[in-house]
Amino acid sequence: MTKRIALVTGGMGGIGTAICKALAESGHTVITTYSKPGKEQAWLADMKGMGFADIHAYQCDVTDTAACAAMLARAQQEVGAVDVLVNNAGITRDGTFKKQSKDDWDAVIKTNLDSLFNMVKPVLDGMVERGFGRIINISSINGQKGQFGQTNYSAAKAGMHGFTMALAQEVARKGVTVNTISPGYIATDMVMAVPEEVRNKIIANIPVGRLGKPEEIAGLINYLASDIAGFMTGANLAINGGQHMM
């Protein structure tokens, strides 16, 4: 395959790391972002220790439009133009709407939804000019079905797919695809830290009888990033073990 450059936002978490590994294994040069300094050197060392030499990390606040543009300009100069963009960065600030503050609302909307504008805007023209691009937005099962205590998160994640469908139509003839994936409950460190009885209640509602694996999410993204995925655009792919079927 053609050697391409993939950028994964929030790539140092459980799912993000799996995505970076899968793309690197497929021959991509991988760039990732992190919000706060501290663990990036250890993460890079771990990745390079596993044989992933062509991997780069940049600090970036995905809610800051100017910071995203500056980071992408620097990455393009130092590594090269981005061919594949995976919008994976996200946060939660859960609580019933009655108790939810404006700060909780704004933080989730800015990180999960505004970040799409901030990251896509600086790379899209280059993708169009080169006649190839893959934009993959990581939504959630809760953006499809809603979730008690997550009005902010569900709204942001549903909004991601509206963005996907509209942009996909604008760039379809230019060789650029735009897709959403909506994972269910995945066995990340965060989910595994939930008390076992709570985790078992979640699993009881998943028809396949288990949590998903980060590598399963990464495998789907790897396909969407590939040359052979050019006929799929504007889609929202559920990967949730049958927990929510549409």
β 176-183/236-239 pair status: parallel
Of the residues 58, 153, 185, 223, only one is catalytic, namely 153
Helix residue ranges per DSSP H, the chain? 14-25, 40-49, 65-78, 102-109, 115-130, 141-145, 151-171, 189-192, 196-204, 214-225
Which residues, 6+ apart, have CB-to-CB distance to 152 below 8 Å?
93, 100, 104, 105, 108, 109
Specify whether the CB–CB gap between 12 and 43 falls below 8 A: yes
Specify whether the CB–CB gap between 141 and 244 falls below 8 A: yes
How far is Cα 169 from Cα 157, in angstroms, rounded to an integer?
Answer: 19
Query: Nearest to residue 13, comparing CAs of 193, 179, 145?
Result: 193
Which residues, 6+ apart, have CB-to-CB distance to 81 below 8 Å?
5, 123, 126, 130
Query: Nearest to residue 181, comparing CAs of 228, 141, 154, 229?
Result: 141
Q: Identify whether 153 is a catalytic site residue.
A: yes
Specify whether the CB–CB gap between 29 and 79 falls below 8 A: yes
Q: Catalytic amino acids?
A: 153
